[in-house]
């Protein structure tokens, strides 16, 4: 068996394991219909589709004879069908890539190197370009956009609790007593008889409005759950910034922070695990329904929170932690080309255009996401301001490196295996009250896989 065939068989086998299903032909649409004149492009956010259709229109004018075919899928369907398409050989030419998935795809060699596109990291917001370099030193993603996390809050409920915007932007926390952050969340919590979480007689078993919404257990990254706290306590996911070889979920710092964070639910201040559903009852839904006064969520949700009828939503920066800094994950998406793209030449032209200031300014003008280039970001900020939306809580951490710390998703091999182990472990801690010390064993299992 030749080398290429062995790689193909390994990739198919590994992807089938990631997908958790048998090989199914024709379960994805994307590669079908590709030709020398068509570039197929997949993305998962319907809100962004009009912006990229505008980019495609301009691109086609500049490249007569080339057509971009855009397919939009929901988040869960997107990754299921993309993985299946790699197995079935029907993958798109270009797709929107997530750093959480990058390690697995790079390891399985299903991505095309992009070194010949002339992408300069300095042309993008700090760190966005470097994250897409593989362990082989080659580039596999062109910077697309970025997001950070902030605290969305119901202004009326905050006012009723006597909390000002200045106070909410000046919160701090620690894993011992929760600091002023926990005090604020407790005071925002109201039980069925109108008693607040920090008042005598508060009934944690009969809560009408929780101070903080939940997005679940957070799996292994905790982006909109506990990551801001673990990072501002000085913890890092792995032993290296990128392509770490050891995870650190067995860290006493990590475990103490996680115990405190999920303890907010035990005290009745945070929406319990039993009230969370990843499909229908996420943090934003809880805030929209008046079930929660505040929620940590990402910049991709700005328009959603702003659109809640009858609610005036404000945003605040993340609380300062024991390190003295405020922390937020800074995630950056990229556009990747598949290794077996049918129109590789057209795909490279399209990805180069997607990463250009021209397209990123166009995307920014829609006020949906923050594009990766500084000019694209400025266009987005201006578009949000035109809509009357203050996005300072999201952009300030990127500009202020003195008071804020930004960090990325953990980038390692075997990302799907890490998820498979950490998802139930964190669910068990949050939902069943299991001891955080159980993460010692989970961490050992993860590191054993990474040692392969």
Return the pLDDT at 15: 57
Say yes or no to pLDDT of 278 above 90: no
Best CATH choice for the domain 3-146+333-393 from the list 3.40.50.620, 3.10.580.10, 1.10.3720.10, 3.40.190.10:
3.40.190.10
Which residue, among 128, 127, 122, 164, has the nearest Cα to 145 in the 3D structure?
Answer: 128
Evaluate if residue 139 carries a pLDDT over 70.
yes
Report which of 211, 168, 162 is spatially closest to residue 318, judged by C-alpha positions: 168
pLDDT in tens, 13-40: 455 555 443 333 333 344 444 567 999 9
Of the listed ranges 109-118, 304-313, 349-358, 409-418, the least confidently predicted one is: 409-418
Q: What is the pLDDT at residue 212?
A: 98
pLDDT in tens, 68-118: 999 999 998 999 999 999 999 999 999 999 998 998 898 889 999 999 999
pLDDT (tens digit per residue) in 192-250: 999 999 999 999 999 999 999 999 999 999 999 999 999 999 999 999 999 999 999 99
Host H or E run for residue 103: helix 99-107
Q: What is the share, in percent, of the chain residues with pLDDT greater than 70?
A: 92
Give the DSSP letter of residue 133.
B
Most distant CA pair in the chain, distance: 74
In the chain, list all ranges with CATH 3.40.190.10: 3-146+333-393, 149-329+414-450
Annotation: CATH topology of 149-329+414-450: D-Maltodextrin-Binding Protein; domain 2 (3.40.190)
pLDDT average, residue stretch 381-388:
97
* pLDDT tens for each residue of 338-379: 999 999 999 999 999 999 999 999 999 999 999 999 999 999
Helix axes 252-266, 439-450, angle to 10 degrees: 130
Let me know how long the chain is: 452
Beta 149-154 vs 313-316: how paired, if at all?
Answer: antiparallel
């Amino acid at each position: 068996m030749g080398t290429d065939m062995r790689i193909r068989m390994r990739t198919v086998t590994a992807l089938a394991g990631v997908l958790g299903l048998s090989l199914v032909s024709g379960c994805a649409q994307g590669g079908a219909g590709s030709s020398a004149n068509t570039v197929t492009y997949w993305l998962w956010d319907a809100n962004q589709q009009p912006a990229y259709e505008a980019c495609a229109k301009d691109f086609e004018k500049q490249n007569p004879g080339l057509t971009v075919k855009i397919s939009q899928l929901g988040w869960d369907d997107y990754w299921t069908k993309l993985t299946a398409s790699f197995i079935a050989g029907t993958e798109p030419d270009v797709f929107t890539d997530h750093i959480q998935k990058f390690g697995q795809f790079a390891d399985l060699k299903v991505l095309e190197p992009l070194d010949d596109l002339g992408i300069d990291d300095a042309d993008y917001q700090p760190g966005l370009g470097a994250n897409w370099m593989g362990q082989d030193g080659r580039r596999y993603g062109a910077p697309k956009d970025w997001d950070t996390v902030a605290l969305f809050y119901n202004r009326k409920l905050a006012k009723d609790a006597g909390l000002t915007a200045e106070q909410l932007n000046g919160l701090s926390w620690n894993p011992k007593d929760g600091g002023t952050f926990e005090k604020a969340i407790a005071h925002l919590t109201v039980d069925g008889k109108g008693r607040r979480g920090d008042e005598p007689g508060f009934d944690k078993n009969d809560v009408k409005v929780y101070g903080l919404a939940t997005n679940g257990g957070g799996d292994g990254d905790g982006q909109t759950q506990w990551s801001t706290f673990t990072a501002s306590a000085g913890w890092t996911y792995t032993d290296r910034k990128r392509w770490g070889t050891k995870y650190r979920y067995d860290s006493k710092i990590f475990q103490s922070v996680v115990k405190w964070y999920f303890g907010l639910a035990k005290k009745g201040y945070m929406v319990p695990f039993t009230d969370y559903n990843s499909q229908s009852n996420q943090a934003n839904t809880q805030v929209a329904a008046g079930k929660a006064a505040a929620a940590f969520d990402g910049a991709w949700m700005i328009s959603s929170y702003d659109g809640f009828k009858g609610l005036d939503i404000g945003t605040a920066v993340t609380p300062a932690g024991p390190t003295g800094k405020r922390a937020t994950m800074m995630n950056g998406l990229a556009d990747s080309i598949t290794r077996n793209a049918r129109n590789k030449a057209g795909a490279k032209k399209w990805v180069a255009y997607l990463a250009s200031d021209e397209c990123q300014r166009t995307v920014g003008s829609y006020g949906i996401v923050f594009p990766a280039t500084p000019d694209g970001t400025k266009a987005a900020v201006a578009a949000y301001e035109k809509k009357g939306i203050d996005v300072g809580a999201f952009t300030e951490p990127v500009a202020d490196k003195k008071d804020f710390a930004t960090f990325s998703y953990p980038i390692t091999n075997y990302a799907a295996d890490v998820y498979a182990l950490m998802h139930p472990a964190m669910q068990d801690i949050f939902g069943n009250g299991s001891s955080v010390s159980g993460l010692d064993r989970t961490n050992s299992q993860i590191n054993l896989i990474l040692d392969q």
